[in-house]
Amino acid sequence: MKLSLGWLKDYIDPKISTEELIERLTMAGLEVEGVEYIGKDIVLEIEITPNRPDCLYILGLAQEIGAITGQAVNPPKIKSAKTAQLKELIHIESKEDCSRYIGTLIKGVQIKDAPPEMKVRLASLGINAINNAVDITNFVLMETGQPLHAFDHDKIAGGKINVRRAKAGESIVTLDGIERKLDSSILVIADAQKPVAIAGIMGGRDSQITSSTKNILLESAHFDMGLIRRASRTLGLRSDSSYRFERNVSFAGVAIGSDRATELLLQLSGGQLSGRGEILSKAKSVAIKIKVKVSDIESLLGLKITPLKIKTWLSRLGFKVTAKAGVLTVTPPANRVDIGQDVDVIEEIARMIGFDHLPSKLPTIKAANIPVNKRPREIKDQIRRTLTAGGIDEIITHSMINTKALVKSNMADMPALRIFNPLNQDQELMRPVILPSFLQAVVTNFNRGQKDLRIFEIGKTYFKDKEKETLGILLTGRRTHDWRLSKKDSVEVLDLKGNLERIFKNISVSVIYGKTEMQVFDPGCAASIIVDGKQIGVLGKIDRKALNNWDIKNQDIYFAGLHLDEILSKPGKFVRYQAISEFPAIIRDVSLAVKKEVPYKKIEEICLQQGGDILRSVQFIEQYLGDKIQSGHKGLVFSCHYQSNIRTLREDEVNAAHERILQALTRDLGAVRR
């Protein structure tokens, strides 16, 4: 809302500097966002919160500034028009939508320019002058907050208007020259034949005031706020009027605006007042009375305050206050539609004191807070620590993706939750998998020449009726930035598994790796992640075709994605100390050739079965896949660690256990010693 200080001074002299006025307004909740100098005038741009329709016009702001500064406000004296009642002039068919309508007939007007003073006032608020009648309606709107409309009465078929819902198929060309299709959700002002205005939003072109207009029907009405808001949105049409109706204009303002505009029209157009029709389809609202306990004010704000002081503040704001036995009975002014309960009154008092002048102290927070399971957040933080320790950077990506991203990731069939009103096609789906977000980040970085990436995200994936906490990890490029440490050039899938193992070990979750059919992975280089018999995720090397779809060339991408909810709810294992053996360990290395399809895990299992109590652990050393071995076979090297907690092991018992293991490996797996 623009506030012209020149116009303001017609009603109040704040007697403070502009800087101070800006500061005081801002600190009273009317934030001044800008200052403009127009001619000799200073115009403030004020942010008016939606609860303060009373500040959307100059007289309302004058009242507020009067309260803030303690200066007197002198509003113009508005006489109520005395004229004949024209009952038949107005009909309200849609009573729910229009609670009050005043139509005033002024005959024999002369349409010409408004006086310069009025044009200057309007110009200061950025409103173009049109002619005296239209300018008066705009002037009164800005002065009193009451939206008005002037019809050329001779263009109203039948000379009478009806407030009704539009009929299907009806349309109207509005003042801006655009034809608008109407429907029954839209309230119109209609004559005997057709709509002549969209109620509360904009008048029709056919009945507008022109230089040849002789007789004016002046509308001042109160329309339902929600209805006007919906219609304005449906039509994509906003106006100074609709803006105010949406925010609720004051019921009492209907008469004030009507009287003020009538008076000015008679004064400035030379017309004759020829009658008025008024319909109240709802009972006049009774002034509300709110009871506020002084003790409640004191306890909510945390200070001591006298009823007299409160009365002074509230009276300045135009409230009527009576005090009795520590209880105030408060009646807000008719234009303060935002005041309905005691806390609203307490806020007014706080505003007048100034929030910065209210006391400040730390709250008492009770130990009896609500119960919260901290484990999921702890685990997530632990995952972050584990992964960053491994040189992996955390990313945060958008939760929304487009269908194309799924197609490119070989997941065209994956069902996804759609957004009903997306901003654009790039954000039409809530991601059902986290991988496309990662591939997008890869593309962004590759395009900028950054090809060694290790990234992870803990974010949500979305499904029809739930959202799942999801972890994604992606590795690509050189294994290490430090060539001195690198045995191999690039990362491989077991690097990914290593990171997962560290996470699972940290939070004591046991995992097995199974097969996966997911088409986004290279089939020989992918696995599912299974916890408690349930697949929670996958890891593997991304399929070359998918990478081509993303235009990712010459580099392998390794990705793991898993749903965390299953493991976030795990309580974690309680660790009991185990005595450290004082006796020496005996380590025997084993080098074997086995068929390629034999998993290492199987060998480890056989060792642990056969080794007895004295076999403490089996440790993997190396795998050989070269051609210096029988074809279809691989070489494996591992060591068996034998130890006891209570005695030194004898050579012969270790030999016996070790021999059992080797025989079992040969018998069960066809292993050959190398």
> Taking CB under 8 A as the criterion, which residues in 336-355 touch other proteins?
341, 343-344, 346-347, 350-351, 355
Kindly write down the DSSP assignment for every residue of 285-345, as one continuous string. Answer: PPPP-EEEEHHHHHHHHTS---HHHHHHHHHHTT-EEEEETTEEEEE--TT-TT--SHHHH
Q: Does 494 interact with other proteins (rule: CB under 8 A)?
A: no
Q: Does 480 bind other proteins (CB under 8 A)?
A: yes
Stretch that binds other proteins, among 4-12, 125-133, 220-228, 586-594 (CB under 8 A): 220-228
- Contact call for residues 642 and 656 (beta carbons, < 8 A): no
Eight-state DSSP code of residue 581: P
Minimal distance, residue 189 CB to other proteins, in Å: 21
Q: Site for other proteins (CB under 8 A): which residue of 283, 370, 580, 646?
A: 370
Under the criterion CB under 8 A, does residue 266 sit at the interface with other proteins? no
Residue 631 sits in the site that holds other proteins (CB under 8 A): no
Size of the site for other proteins (CB under 8 A): 92
- 656 binds other proteins per the rule CB under 8 A: no
Q: With residue 505 as reference, give the H or E element that holds it.
A: helix 493-506
Cα gap 229→98, rounded to integer Å: 14
Is residue 264 a contact partner of residue 140, using CB atoms and an 8 Å limit? Answer: yes
Query: Between 279 and 416, whose beta carbon lies closer to other proteins?
Result: 416
Residue from 126, 391, 415, 584 in contact with other proteins (CB under 8 A): 391
Which residue's CB is nearer to other proteins, number 23 or number 88? 23
Cα Rg, the chain, nearest whole Å: 40
The answer to the question of residue 464 lying near other proteins (CB under 8 A) is yes
Residue 361 is a binding residue for other proteins (CB under 8 A)? yes
Residue 358 near other proteins by CB under 8 A: yes
Which of 427, 490 has the CB closer to other proteins?
Answer: 427
For position 360 contacting other proteins by CB under 8 A, the verdict is yes
Q: Which stretch binds other proteins (CB under 8 A): 179-187, 194-202, 328-336, 383-391?
A: 383-391
407 binds other proteins (CB under 8 A): no
- DSSP secondary structure letter of residue 174: B
* Span interacting with other proteins, options 82-90, 97-105, 441-449, 547-555, rule CB under 8 A: 441-449
Query: Which position has the token pair 């119109």?
Result: 188
Question: Nearer Cβ to other proteins, position 281 or 445?
Answer: 445
CA distance 170 to 179: 10
* 481 makes contact with other proteins (CB under 8 A): yes
CB 35 within 8 A of CB 45: yes
From 66-74, 168-176, 381-389, 509-517, span contacting other proteins (CB under 8 A): 381-389
CB of 640 closer than 8 Å to CB of 590:
yes
Give the binding range for other proteins (CB under 8 A) out of 284-292, 393-401, 542-550, 582-590. Answer: 393-401
Mind giving me the DSSP string for 56-119? SSHHHHHHHHHHHH-----PPP-PPP---B-GGGEEES-TTTEEEEEEEEEES----PPPHHHH
Does residue number 602 form part of the binding site for other proteins (CB under 8 A)?
A: no
Retrieve residue 93's tokens: 């068919």
473 sits near other proteins (criterion: CB under 8 A): no
**Does the protein bind other proteins through residue 301 (CB under 8 A)?**
yes
Which segment (82-90, 93-101, 158-166, 477-485) binds other proteins by CB under 8 A?
Answer: 477-485
- Position 487 contacts other proteins (CB under 8 A): no
Find the angle CA(431)-CA(437)-CA(438) to the nearest 5 degrees.
140
Q: Of residues 15-44, which lie at the interface with other proteins (CB under 8 A)? A: 26-29, 31
3-class secondary structure, 18: helix
Q: Which of 49, 285, 306, 569 binds other proteins (CB under 8 A)?
A: 49
Query: Pattern of binders to other proteins over 506-545, x per CB under 8 A?
Result: ----------------------------------------
Q: Is 327 in the site for other proteins (CB under 8 A)?
A: no
Residue 392 contacts other proteins per CB under 8 A? yes
The contacts of residue 184 (CB under 8 Å, 6+ apart) are 165, 166, 167, 168
> Rounded CA gap, 258 and 103, in Å?
8
Closest distance of CB 142 from other proteins, Å = 19
Based on the shown chain and the rule CB under 8 A, indicate whether residue 246 belongs to the binding site for other proteins.
yes
Token code pair at residue 629: 């071995």
Q: Interface with other proteins includes 629 (CB under 8 A)?
A: no
Distance between CA atoms of 142 and 498, rounded to whole angstroms? 70
Member of 455, 542, 594, 606 binding other proteins (CB under 8 A): 455
> Is 445 an interacting residue with respect to other proteins (CB under 8 A)?
yes
Q: Rule CB under 8 A: is residue 653 a binding residue for other proteins?
A: no
Cα 580 to its chain centre, rounded Å, is: 56
Identify the residue among 119, 165, 247, 336 touching other proteins (CB under 8 A): 247
Among 2, 6, 10, 51, binds other proteins (CB under 8 A): 51
Residue 356 found at the interface with other proteins (CB under 8 A)? yes
107, 230, 320, 404: which one contacts other proteins (CB under 8 A)? Answer: 230
Signed CA dihedral, 585, 590, 594, 600: sign only: positive
Read off the tokens for 191: 């004559």
Nearer to other proteins, 178 or 396 (CB): 396
Name the segment binding other proteins (CB under 8 A); options: 153-161, 294-302, 312-320, 536-544.
294-302
Rounded CA-CA distance 332/399 in Å is 47
User: Is residue 404 exposed (0-12), middle (13-18) or buried (19+ Cβ within 10 Å)?
Assistant: middle
Interface residue with other proteins among 362, 575, 579, 646 (CB under 8 A) is: 362
Task: Kindly indicate which of the ranges 250-258, 299-307, 621-629, 659-667 contains the residues binding other proteins, using the contact rule CB under 8 A.
Answer: 299-307
When the beta carbons of 7 and 319 are compared against other proteins, the nearer one is 319
Q: Which of 198, 187, 162, 197 lies closest to 89 in space, CA to CA?
A: 162
**Cβ-contact 486, 479 below 8 angstroms:** yes
Tell me whether residue 363 or residue 524 sits nearer to other proteins (CB atom). 363
Q: Does 290 bind other proteins (CB under 8 A)?
A: no
Residue 211 has φ and ψ, to the nearest 5°, of: -65, -20
Q: Nearest approach, Cβ of 84 to other proteins (angstroms)? A: 38
**How far apart are the C-alpha atoms of 294 and 330, rounded to whole Å?**
12
d(CA 230, CA 242): 10
Cα 191 to its chain centre, rounded Å, is 44
Q: Does 444 help bind other proteins (rule: CB under 8 A)?
A: yes
